Amino acid sequence: MTEKKEKTPLFHVVKRSNIPLWQSILIRLGFVVGAVLVGMLVLLITRGINPFEALYEMFRGSFASPNRFFNFLKDGALLLIVGLALVPSFKMKFWNLGGNGQILMGALVTVMCMYYLGNILPAGYDWLIIICMFISAVLAGAIWALIPALFKAFFNTNESLFTLMMNYIAVGLVSAFITVVSSGGGSHFIDPDMICAHGRIPQLFGKEATLIVIASLIILAFMIYYLRFSKHGYELSVVGESENTARYVGINVKKVIIRTILLSGAICGIAGFLISGAITYSVTETSAANMGFTAIIAVWLAKFNPFITAATSFFVVFVTTGMGQVQLAFSDVLKNNASGDIVMGLIYFFIIGCEFFIEYKIIWNKKSKNPLENVISEPTEAPALEAPEPQAEAPAKEEK
Amino acid sequence: MKKETQKQISIRFENVSKFFGPVKANENISFDIYQGEILSLLGENGSGKTTLMNMLSGIYFPDEGKIYINGEHVTIASPKDAFDLKIGMVHQHFKLIDVFTCLENIVLGIEDKEKANKSKARKIVKEICDKYGFEINLNKKVYDLSVSEKQTLEIIKVLYREANILILDEPTAVLTPVEIKRLFAVLNNMRKDGKTIIIITHKLNEVMEISDRVAILRKGQYIDTVLTSKTNESQLTEMMVGKKTVLNIDRSEPKDVEDRLIVNGLTYVNGEGIKVLDDVNFTAKSGEILGIAGIAGSGQRELLEAIAGLNPKAKGDIVFFRPKKNLPVSFYHKTYREVVKLASEGKFHYDNGSPVSFEGMRPFQIKSLVNNGDVLFNENEVMNLREKSPLQIRELGVRLSFVPEDRLGMGLVGNMDLIDNMMLRSYRKGKGTLLNRKNPENLAGAIVNELEVVTPNLHTPVRKLSGGNVQKVLVGREIASAPKVLMAAYPVRGLDINSSYLIYNLLDKQKREGTAVIFVGEDLDVLLALCDRILVMCEGQVSGIVDARTTTKEEVGLLMTSKKEAEGGK
Amino acid sequence: MVAFNDILINIIQGAIPLAIIFLFGCVGEILTEKSGNLNLGLPGVMCFGAVGGVLGCVLYMKTIYQLWPIDVSEPVITFVTVLSYICLLLFAIIFACVFGAISGLIFSFLTTTLKANQNITGLALTTFGGGFADFVVPLITPKEEEKALLAKAAKILKFSLPYDRTAVGIWGDSFLNQSILVVIGFAIAIVAFVIINKTRVGLSLRSVGENPATADAAGINTNAYRYGATLIGCAIAGLGGLFYVVKINGWENSATLQGFGWMVLALVIFAVWNPLIAIVGSLVFGALWVSPQSGISTNTAAGKDLLKITPYVVTVVVLVITSIVGKKSVLPPGSLGINYFREER
C-alpha cells in the first residue's frame, strides 16, 4: 500500500445537534470568568496591579456605598431600556445599529421642549412640558428609526449601514442645536440652569435611580408580554426566522418591519427622554453614552431574551463602573479609563468565541493504527466484470 | 455485452459513514467503481447518494471509513484535494458565480499559471468543445445563461481541470429530452476516453439507457451493484425501495364532483424576465385528485404559489367556487351590509325554497334570521382570487391549504416548536392582541398522535425532527382546517416508503371528504396510481390534461417534454 | 470676507491629509469586504494601526535616529538624512501594518474560524481597539520626552517629495506639499483596484465574497482568502491610523479616529466597493469635513455643524440609490457579512 496521501487533518468540525442548557450556560460563564481573569492579568503584567486588589475595587465600583449602588442601578436600568428597545428589531433580524442616534434624538427634542416651552409657558406648567417632552421624544426616536426601516421594507436597503449613518446625522443635529442655544461667547455647551430650568422630571424618593428602574421594569414587563404573548411579537419572530414563511401565511412583512422598528425607536426615544429630562437636564453629542452599541452586545449575549437582557445589561454596567473604580484606585499607574474598554472588549471576544463551542463540535480524527485496515495493496486487478452477477440475482436485503 | 473481462478499480469505498446529528446519511458503505465505466448511483431521495459523492468531491469529510483512488488510500479534505486527484463533480445546484463570465468561471480557482491565463484557456476550452461537441459563448455572464448552458459550462469546467472521474448529480432533472440526448452522447464520448463517470439519479429509464453498472443505495446503506445488462427496471426498483413497487395506493372513485377552482389564463413573468407560467388553464374539482407532472422547474411551484396568493404579479383569473349551495348564510365572513345587499339581489332562499327578501324587516330581525341559520344560499359563491394576498384569501373565507415544496423554509419555521408552528395558520383567531396557545397545543398533540410523529415533546423545534416527521407536521396542520382546496408540492420528497404511503392515504382521505386536491409529484408511477386526472406542464405551459386511469407513463412522459406549438390552433 | 481662492486652497490643503486617512481605511475595508467579511471593527483597526505607528516612530526615534538625526526645521538632503527618513518611514509603516493585521487576525479568527457573527465581532473590536490605543499609547509615550520625539517623527513623515516650489505656484503647492504617505495612499488604491479586478487572485477573491460555496467547490481555499484579505485589508487600514498620528503630531485619544473609522465605512458604500471611486470619494469627504473650518461663511453658526453631517447624508443617499437601482455592479458582494461553513446543510 502506498500511503503517500496520508495527511488526515487532525480534526474536523461538525454542527452540534443538541446541547443541554446547563452545559451551554456553564460554557458561557466559564468564558466570562476567563475573560475577566485575562483582563486582570493584562493589568498585572503591564501596570503591576495586584489582580485581587483590582477585583476588590471592581466590586467596590458598584457596591461600596449606597450612592454607588444607586448609580449602578440607574446605569444598568438605562442600558436595560435601550437593550429592550433593540430586542424586537434584532429578533426580526433587523440590524438596528442606530440606537445611539435614536436615543440622541429623543434627548434632543426633550431639551428643546424644556427650552422653548419653558420660555413660553408660565411657571407651574411643568407637568404639561413633561408630557410634551415624552410625546415628542417617543416620536423623535421612532421617526429616526422609521427612516431606515422604510427603505429596508421597500427597497431592501442595508439597514445596518443606514442606521449607522443616522447616528452621525443625529450627532450633527445635536451639535447644531447646542451652537444655536449657546451662541455668544463661542461656548459650546448647554447650561442646565439656563436652558433646562423648566420641565424637569421630579425625582422619586429623592433618587434619580428610582424612576429609571421603575421605567425599565415597566418596559421589561411590556416586552415580555409583547414578544412572548402578543400576536405582534409572534409575527415579528416569524419574519425574523423566515421571510418566506411569513409571506406564506399572509403576514405583511413590510408592515411588520415598520411597526417593529417604530417600537424599537420609540423606546430608544424614551431612554433619551429619561437621560435629558430626569438625569442630566442637558444634551451633548455623547448623551447616548454609546449605549446603542453596548446594548447590542448585551442583547446578543442574552440571545434576544428580555429577561436575560436584564442580567447582561447589569453585568456590563457592573464591569464598566468596576473598571472605572479600578482606574480611580490605581490612578497613579492608570492615566485614563481605557482599561475598562479593554476588559469589556476581552469579555466580548471571549463570549463571541465561546458560541462556537456551543454551536459546533470538534471531531478529532484518530489515525488508524492497525495496518490490516489498509487491505488493498498494489493497484489491484478488479475481478472480472461478470463477477457481480450472482449477487445481482440475489434478492435485495430486506430490512425492517 | 462487454468483452473486456479485466478492469482497473478506480474508486473504492471502504466502510464509509457520514452522520448529520442523529441522521445517518451514509452508513458503512463499501463498494468499487471501475475505470472507464458509467456507473449509475441509484436511490430514492434522501438515500444518501449526494452525501456519498460529496465526500468524494471534498465537500463533506467522512466521519468514518476510507476512500481509495487507484489503489491508494486518500484523504479528501477539501474540493482542492479532489481536483488534485482528478475528481470533478457537477452539482445539482450549479456552483457558478452569477456575476462572472463563463470564461472567468472556468479559470476560477485554477492554480496552474498557464491554464489560468484567459487567452490560453480560451484555446483549450475550444479544443474541449470541439472534441465533445459543446457550444458555449465564453463572454456571456452566467446570469444570462439557460439552465442547460449552465450545465454545459459546469461540465467544461470539470473537463478543463482534466478530471478523470466525473460525478454528475441529477444531471437530467432540468433538461429537455433533446438536451438529455446530447448529454448522453457527450458522456459516451468521455467513456471512450477512459474516464470514469458516476451519475446520481433516481430515474430508471436513464439508468438503463446510459450506464454500465448500477450501484443502489437505500436509506443511507449500500444495497448492491449490478450489471445494467443483467437487470431490469422492476428489479432495480425493488432494490431501491426495498419491496416490489406494485404501488398499493388505494384510489377511491371520485364522487360529488363539481368545479371548485378554475384557473384561467394564468401568466407569470418572474423577476429575471422569464415567463415561468404561460397562459395556464385548468379546473380543479372537488372530490378528485388532480396531479401535476412535469420536469422540475416547469412552473409547478410558481403555479401553486400564484394560486396561494404568493405571486402577486401573476396575471389571470383564479376563480374559486365556495360550496355554499343550500347552506346557511353567516356573519362569519360577511358583514351585515353585504348580507342585505346579496338578499336584495335574490341570492338567498329559505329552507322551504321560497326566496328571501328582507324588505321591511328591522336589523335585529334580519340578524336573528341569519344567526338561526334560516337563510340559505341559492348557489355556490363565486370568488375571484386574482391579485389577492394570502391574508385576503383567508379573510374571504376561502379554505385553501398549501403544502409547499420548501418545508422548513416556507411551510414551517425550523427554530420554532410544534405548537408555535401550528399557530402559523391560526394565530390571528380571537380578538385582542393576545395569542392563544391552548388550541394550537391541542392540535399539535392530536397531529402527533394521529400521524405518529416521532418527537421528544411538543416543545421541540421542528428542525430537529427527521424529514418524514417534519412533513407529517406540515401536512397535518394544513389538513386540520378542513380545506376545500388542498395543494401539495412534492409532499413525499425525501420520505421513506411508509411515510409516503401515509401521505398518499391522507390525500385520498381528503379527496373522499370532498376536497379538491392538487398534487405535484415527480414519480410518474405514483401520479398514475394516485390521481384522477393529470395535468402535464412543460416550460410553463399546460401541455395536456389526461385521465390517470387510462393514460400510460409513456404518454405523460411525452407530454412533459413537448411544448405546445407556438401558433398551432388550440 | 476671505477670498474665494484662499478658501479653496484651504480646503484642498486640509482635505488631502484627511482624505488619505479615509482612503487607507477605505481601501483596506474594500479589500476585506470583497472577501465577504463585513468588518465593522474598522474604527478599532485604525486605532490598532495608530498604536503601531506610534510604537514604530518612538522606537526609531529613540534608537537609530540618535545616530542619524535630521534637522526638522531646515532639512538638508544628504545621504544620511535620506537614509534616516526612509528608515523611519519603514519603521512606521511596518509597525502600523503589523498592528492593523493583528486586529484583523482577531476578527478573522473569531468570524472565519469560530464562525462568530460579524457585526457583533466588529463592534467588540471597535470597543477593544479604542481602549487598546488609549491604554497602550500612554505606555509608549509616558513622558514629554517621548511625546516630543513622536511629534518630531510626525513632522519628518510630513515631508513632501522634493519639487520646485517656485515653479508650481500656489495651486501646485497645495497639491504637491504633501507627505510621501499621501502618494503611497493613492498608489495602494490603484494597485488594489488592479489586483481586485484584473488578476487571478482578485478573481478568486471576488468569487469568495460573492459565493463562497462555489469558490470552495472550485478548489479555492475560502478560509485562506478571507484571512488573507482581512489581514492585508486591516494592515492597509492601519496605515490610516498611522497617518492620523502624523497629521495631529501625536495622540490625544481614540474618539476622533474612531469617528473617522465610521466615516470610512460610509465611504466604502459611497465608493460602491471600487478603490478608484474611493480616491474621489475620500477627497470629497475630506473636503466636506474641513470646509466648515476653512472660512466658508454660513448664515448661522449652526450651519457649520450641519455641514459636518453632509458626508453621512450623501452616503445615505448613495446607499438608497444603489439599493433602488439594484444593479449587480453596484451591489455589495453577495455573501457580505455571512460566514461560510462547508458542511452546512
HEC letters along C205-268: HHHHHHCHHHHHHCCCCHHHHHHHHHHHHHHHHHHHHHHHHHHHCCCCCHHHHHHHHHHHHHHH
pLDDT at C329: 64
How many CA atoms does the CB half-sphere of B300 hold within 13 Å? Answer: 28
Task: Report the Cα B394 to chain-centroid distance in Å.
Answer: 25
* Cβ-defined contact of C214 to B89 (cutoff 8 Å): no
Range of the domain at A264: 78-311
Please, what sign has the CA dihedral across residues B75, B81, B86, B90?
positive
Residue A310 and residue A220 in contact, taking contact as beta carbons nearer than 8 Å: yes
- Structural domains of chain B, count: 3
Q: What is the pLDDT of residues A338-349, one digit of tens each?
A: 888 888 888 888
Residue A205 forms part of a structural domain = yes
Residue C307: other Cβ atoms inside 10 A: 19
Tell me the nearest-neighbour CA distance from B98 into chain C, angstroms.
9
All three cell numbers of C1, joined, read 470676507
Task: Return the axis-axis angle of helices C4-34 and C200-210, rounded to nearest 10°.
Answer: 80
Residue showing cell 478568486: C204
Q: How far apart are CA A178 and CA A196, in angstroms?
A: 12
Nearest to C128 among A13, A300, A349 (CB): A349
Q: What is the pLDDT of residues C227-252, one digit of tens each?
A: 999 999 999 999 999 999 999 888 88
- For β-strands B221-227 and B381-384, DSSP reports them as unpaired
Nearest to B79 among C206, C216, C334 (CB): C216
Q: How far apart are CA B453 and CA B30, in angstroms?
A: 32
Residue B437 forms part of a structural domain = no
Backbone torsion region of residue B299, taken as left when φ is above 0, otherwise alpha when ψ lies between -120 and 50, otherwise beta: left
All three cell numbers of A107, joined, read 434627548
pLDDT at B333: 66
Residue showing cell 484651504: C10
Range of the domain at B495: 247-323+386-399+482-570
Which of C37, C121, C319 to mutate to probe the A interface, most A CBs <10 Å?
A: C319
CATH number at residue B502: 3.40.50.300
Q: Is A396 helix (H, G, I), strand (E, B) or coil?
A: coil
* Cβ-defined contact of A169 to C130 (cutoff 8 Å): no
The answer to whether residues B357 and B287 belong to one domain is no
Could you tell me the strand order of the sheet in which B221-227 lies? B72-74, B64-69, B9-20, B23-34, B221-227, B213-218, B38-42, B196-201, B165-169, B87-90
DSSP state of A114: I
Tell me the nearest-neighbour CA distance from A170 into chain C, angstroms.
9
Nearest to C124 among A13, A337, A348 (CB): A348
Residue of B nearest to A9 (CA): B77
- The ranges assigned to domains in chain C are 4-330
Query: Chain A contacts of B400, Cβ < 8 Å?
Result: none
Nearest to B80 among C200, C219, C329 (CB): C219
Q: How far apart are CA C238 and CA C259, in angstroms?
A: 15
Reported as a pLDDT band with limits 50, 70 and 90, residue A26 is: confident
Tell me the nearest-neighbour CA distance from A358 into chain B, angstroms.
14
* Cβ-defined contact of B108 to C211 (cutoff 8 Å): no
Query: Chain C contacts of B80, Cβ < 8 Å?
Result: 219-221
Which residue ranges in chain C fall short of pLDDT 70?
A: 1-3, 292-302, 326-330, 343-345
Task: Return the axis-axis angle of helices C310-325 and A159-181, rounded to nearest 10°.
Answer: 150
Tell me the nearest-neighbour CA distance from C344 into chain B, angstroms.
9
Give me the amino acid identity at B159.
Answer: L
pLDDT at A271: 95
> Is some CB atom of chain B closer than 8 A to the CB atom of C32?
no
Across B133-206, the runs of DSSP E, i.e. the strands, are 165-169, 196-201
**Selection from B129, B86, B85, B122 nearest residue B106 by Cα:** B122
Residue A145 forms part of a structural domain = yes
All three cell numbers of B97, joined, read 458565480
> Is some CB atom of chain A closer than 8 A to the CB atom of C305?
yes
**Selection from A325, A303, A340 nearest residue A36 by Cα:** A340
CATH 1.20.120 applies to domain C4-330? no
Q: What is the ipTM score, two decimals? A: 0.84
Task: Report the Cα A159 to chain-centroid distance in Å.
Answer: 16
Q: How far apart are CA A53 and CA A61, in angstroms?
A: 12
* A145 contacts: CB under 8 Å, gap ≥ 6: A89, A96, A98, A102, A163, A261, A262, A264, A265, A266, A268
* Cβ-defined contact of B60 to C343 (cutoff 8 Å): yes
The answer to whether residues B36 and B128 belong to one domain is yes
Residue B442 forms part of a structural domain = no
Residue B465 forms part of a structural domain = no
Q: pLDDT digit of tens for each residue in chain B (570 aa)? A: 444 456 788 899 999 998 876 677 888 999 999 988 999 988 876 678 888 998 998 888 888 889 999 888 998 888 888 888 999 999 888 888 888 889 989 988 887 777 778 888 889 999 888 888 888 888 888 888 877 888 889 989 988 888 899 999 888 877 777 788 888 888 898 888 888 999 988 777 788 888 899 998 887 889 889 998 888 877 887 787 665 455 577 788 887 788 888 888 889 887 666 788 888 889 888 889 999 988 777 888 889 988 888 888 888 888 888 777 777 777 766 777 777 777 777 777 777 777 777 777 788 877 777 777 777 777 777 778 878 888 888 887 788 899 998 888 888 998 888 899 998 888 888 777 888 888 889 999 998 888 888 888 888 888 878 777 888 899 899 888 888 889 999 888 767 777 788 888 888 988 888 889 999 987 777 888 889 999 988 888 888 899 988 888 778 877 876 665 443 333
All three cell numbers of C77, joined, read 538632503
Residue B106 forms part of a structural domain = yes
Q: How far apart are CA C338 and CA B332, in angstroms?
A: 46
- Structural domains of chain A, count: 1
* Cβ-defined contact of A341 to C131 (cutoff 8 Å): yes
Residue B429 forms part of a structural domain = no
The answer to whether residues B158 and B28 belong to one domain is yes
- For β-strands B381-384 and B516-520, DSSP reports them as unpaired
> Is some CB atom of chain B closer than 8 A to the CB atom of A372?
no
Give me the amino acid identity at A312.
Answer: T
How many CA atoms does the CB half-sphere of B405 hold within 13 Å? Answer: 14
A 217-246 residues with CB < 8 A to B? 229-235, 237-238, 241-242, 244-245
Which of C203, C210, C330, C343 to mutate to probe the B interface, most B CBs <10 Å?
A: C203
Residue showing cell 491565463: B117
Q: What angle do CA C275, C277, C282 make, to 5 degrees?
A: 90
User: With helix as H, strand as E and coil as C, how does B269-287 read?
Assistant: ECCCCCEEEEEEEEEEECC
Q: How far apart are CA B371 and CA B367, in angstroms?
A: 6
* Cβ-defined contact of C219 to B97 (cutoff 8 Å): no
Residue B19 forms part of a structural domain = yes
Interface of B with C (CB under 8 A): 20, 57, 59-61, 78-80, 82-83, 89, 91, 95-100, 104, 107-111, 113, 116, 143, 157
Q: What is the pLDDT of residues A302-333, one digit of tens each?
A: 888 898 899 999 999 998 899 888 888 888 77
> Is some CB atom of chain B closer than 8 A to the CB atom of C232?
no
Which of A16, A244, A248, A253 to mutate to probe the B interface, most B CBs <10 Å?
A: A248
Query: Chain B contacts of A240, Cβ < 8 Å?
Result: none
Terminal-to-terminal C-alpha distance of chain C? 68
The answer to whether residues B134 and B281 belong to one domain is no
Residue A348 forms part of a structural domain = no
Q: What is the pLDDT of residues A120-136, one digit of tens each?
A: 887 778 888 899 999 99
Residue of A nearest to C302 (CA): A176
Q: How far apart are CA B379 and CA B358, in angstroms?
A: 18
Q: How far apart are CA A303 and CA B192, in angstroms?
A: 58
Reported as a pLDDT band with limits 50, 70 and 90, residue A225 is: very high
Q: What is the pLDDT of residues A38-78, one digit of tens each?
A: 888 888 888 888 888 888 988 888 888 888 999 999 999 99
Tell me the nearest-neighbour CA distance from A163 into chain B, angstroms.
27
Query: Chain A contacts of C301, Cβ < 8 Å?
Result: 179-180, 183
- For β-strands B221-227 and B213-218, DSSP reports them as antiparallel
